């Protein structure tokens, strides 16, 4: 049975109660905007044995190119992962992201930054980020058990939340036929 918009909103509110009001409001804002942008939301309550709720947002872009975003909320963390196949096209914007996001892109852990790339990290398959003309290839698999390419939402600043919104807008702009805009609060 598919959950309604109201059910999803209630679930997000309930599971994000552990976090600051800023985090709760931002997660709810992301949810509303993604649904309004045309994304479908599916909830997974496990990920390779992990405890928590994983909200998978998916959108069919150009040429059936699936655009996806995952928000995970568990007792210890609240974070977002954005499928970023087009990140190399907006490198100038990525370079202006706050250091907390750039650190994850540059110094990621798990399968994100291996000396020997795995299948999910090869240039034809991975997310390619260019930062100061250096290439960083990140895991593209939605449910990779070893991927820690998550941007934490627990220590949000205005700059960080705006960067996440811009990131989503740019990814949609390059992979769909329109440029969505997050509404200012």
Q: Considering the domain boundaries, does residue 150 fall inside one?
A: yes
Q: Considering the domain boundaries, does residue 10 fall inside one?
A: yes
Per-residue pLDDT band for 6 (boundaries 50, 70, 90) equals: confident
pTM value is 0.84
Q: Considering the domain boundaries, does residue 98 fall inside one?
A: yes
- The stretch 118-143 carries a mean pLDDT of 71
pLDDT tens digits for range 92-111: 999 999 999 998 888 764 45
pLDDT computed for residue 68 by the predictor: 87
Whole-Å CA distances, 124 to 95, 127, 139, 158, 173? 22, 9, 11, 34, 20
3-state SS, the chain, equals CCCCHHHHHHHHHHHCCCCCHHHHHHHHHHHHHHHHCCCEEEEEEEECCEEEEEEEEEEECHHHCEEEEEEEEECCEEEEEECCCCHHHHHHHHCCCCHHHHHHHHHCCEHHHCCCCCHHHCCCCCEEEEECCEEEEECCCCCCCCECCCEECCCCCHHHHHHHHHHHHHHHHHHCCCCCCCCCC
Q: Considering the domain boundaries, does residue 162 fall inside one?
A: yes
pLDDT tens digits for range 137-157: 777 666 665 666 789 999 899
Per-residue pLDDT band for 175 (boundaries 50, 70, 90) equals: confident
**How high does pLDDT run on average in the chain?**
81
Per-residue pLDDT band for 112 (boundaries 50, 70, 90) equals: very low
Whole-Å CA distances, 114 to 15, 62, 92, 134, 161? 33, 30, 24, 15, 28
Residues 6+ apart with CB under 8 A from 148: 108, 109, 110, 112
Beta bridge partners of 47: 50
Q: How many domains does the chain have?
A: 1
Q: Considering the domain boundaries, does residue 182 fall inside one?
A: no
Structure tokens belonging to residue 45? 């309550």
Q: Considering the domain boundaries, does residue 181 fall inside one?
A: no
The answer to whether the CB of 24 falls within 8 A of the CB of 36 is no
Is the pLDDT assigned to residue 117 strictly greater than 80? no
Q: Considering the domain boundaries, does residue 44 fall inside one?
A: yes
- Domain enclosing residue 116, as ranges: 5-175
pLDDT computed for residue 136 by the predictor: 81
pLDDT tens digits for range 23-58: 999 999 999 999 988 899 998 886 554 678 889 999
């Amino acid at each position: 049975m598919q959950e309604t918009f109201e059910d999803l909103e209630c679930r997000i509110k309930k599971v994000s109660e552990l976090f600051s009001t800023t985090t709760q409001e931002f997660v709810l804002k992301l949810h509303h905007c993604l649904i309004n942008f045309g994304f479908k939301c599916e909830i997974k309550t496990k990920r390779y044995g992990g405890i928590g709720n994983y909200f998978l947002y998916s959108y069919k872009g150009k040429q059936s190119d699936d655009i996806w975003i995952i928000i995970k909320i568990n007792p210890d963390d609240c974070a977002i992962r954005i499928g970023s196949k087009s990140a190399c096209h907006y490198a100038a914007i990525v370079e202006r992201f706050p250091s907390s996001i750039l650190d994850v892109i540059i110094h990621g852990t798990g399968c994100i930054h291996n000396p020997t790339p795995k299948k999910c990290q090869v240039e034809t398959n991975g997310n390619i980020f260019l930062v100061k003309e250096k290439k960083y290839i990140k895991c593209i698999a939605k449910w990779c058990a070893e991927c820690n390419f998550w941007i934490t939402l627990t220590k949000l600043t205005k700059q960080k939340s705006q960067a996440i919104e811009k990131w989503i807008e740019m990814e949609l702009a390059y992979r769909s036929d329109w440029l969505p805009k997050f509404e200012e609060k």
